[in-house]
Structure 1
Amino acid sequence: MIIGYARVSSTSQSLDIQHEALAAAGAEKIFFEKVSARSTTDREQLMLAMSFAREGDALIVTRLDRLACSVGDLHRIIEVLTKKGVGFKCLNQPGVDTDTSTSHLMLAMLAAVSSFEAGIWREREVEGVWMARAAGKYRGRPASIDPMKIKELKAGGMGAAAIAKQMRICRASVYRALAA
């Protein structure tokens, strides 16, 4: 059986193009996800796809970065699939599969490049924030906690847990505001 896996990073993005490509490639079952690939632990549909796959099946994705953004995660995923006897193919990057040792090498090299690119993007993002802060254009996220309101509620007899629930913040934030 051919199993497809499609992923986008945010809920505003569409999975339609990936779905069409996976279906055209013969995927009989497709797992969809709208979540960041920075970690595999939060990717429920990926875990379901991997547990659904049986020996002789193949997991396909449209692009390698849909599966993993780090070399370590990619190797762990491929290792799990290989131990189960499940193949892997990447549609838009020919030669990226688990059929031969050369394919494994190509997969490792592309994963390293992908991980390198992700690192560069993060560095640029941090650099951009620092430049914007220096220019006075970036102030960060506005404070979501009103310390005066917390103190008023506490003076009115409310406990920390009730204040946190009402203001939709954690109790630790209540204690910090009260201590200030």
Structure 2
Amino acid sequence: MSTIYGYARVSTTDQDLTIQREALKAAGCTTIRAEKVSGTSIKGRTELRLLLDFIHQGDTLVVTRIDRLARSIADLQSIIIELRQKGAALRCTEQPVDTSTSAGKAFLDMLGVFAEFETNLRRERQLEGIAAAKERGVYKGRKASIDAERVRELHAEGVGASEIARQLGIGRASVYRVLESATD
């Protein structure tokens, strides 16, 4: 007996999964897994991994849109290969994707290219915005999380790198970086 699994994803915790869940239920999904995590990588997506581990021959994985599943061609192809090896299909509710057909496979590849392109454009715009903010003197970057002065003080008192790291709750490599920057 084949099962229709649904997968819903949003990128941030303040986004809502309700519309995706309803669309997946309407598509006949008997099991729906959802998560609030970035789609730029499949790493760390435990609900997706769970579905991919449990899907079997004849089953179908349903998503509302392909960008809910993957935002890079490499990740999308990896997921598709895994589904194909297991004899499972992929279907989208809002896009004509059905990997059980040749046209569906071709359309899937095109959507994957556009999803990755969109991600790359967003990243470029973000970097351009940061560069412009730096030029205006507005962007200062992240505040230092390490008290470099305290590291130097403890080191001057003869405290070792491991103990400094333990006392300040930082990594030993961070202690060495601070100490090396002081000698430059």
TM-score normalised by L of structure 2: 0.89
SS of 1:161's equivalent in the other structure is helix
- Kindly indicate whether residue 159 of structure 2 is the aligned counterpart of residue 133 of structure 1: no
Q: Deviations over 1:105-139 (max 9, x none)?
A: 11111111111111111111111110111111111
SS of 2:12's equivalent in the other structure is coil
- Structure 2 distance, partners of 1:166, 1:175, is 15
RMSD (CA atoms): 1.7
Q: Following TM superposition, where does structure 1 have runs of at least 4 consecutive aligned residues deviating by more than 4 angstroms?
A: 155-158
Letter of the 2:29 partner, please give it: A
> What residue ranges of structure 2 are gaps of 5+ in the alignment?
none
TM-score normalised by L of structure 1: 0.91
SS of 2:7's equivalent in the other structure is strand
- Structure 2 distance, partners of 1:22, 1:105, is 23
Residues 171/97 of structure 1: CA separation in 2 closer, same or farther (3 Å cut): same
Quote the sequence identity (%).
50
Match of 1:144 in 2: 145
2:15 to 3, 13, 16: 13
Of 34-43 and 45-54, more deviation after overlay is shown by: 34-43
SS of 2:154's equivalent in the other structure is helix
> What residue ranges of structure 1 are gaps of 5+ in the alignment?
none
Match of 1:51 in 2: 53
The structural deviation recorded for 1:158 is 4.2
Letter of the 1:28 partner, please give it: T
SS of 1:5's equivalent in the other structure is strand
- Structure 1 distance, partners of 2:149, 2:159, is 14
Match of 2:88 in 1: 86
- Structure 1 distance, partners of 2:16, 2:163, is 39
The structural deviation recorded for 1:89 is 0.6
Match of 1:42 in 2: 44
The structural deviation recorded for 1:85 is 1.0
- Structure 1 distance, partners of 2:165, 2:23, is 47
Letter of the 2:92 partner, please give it: C
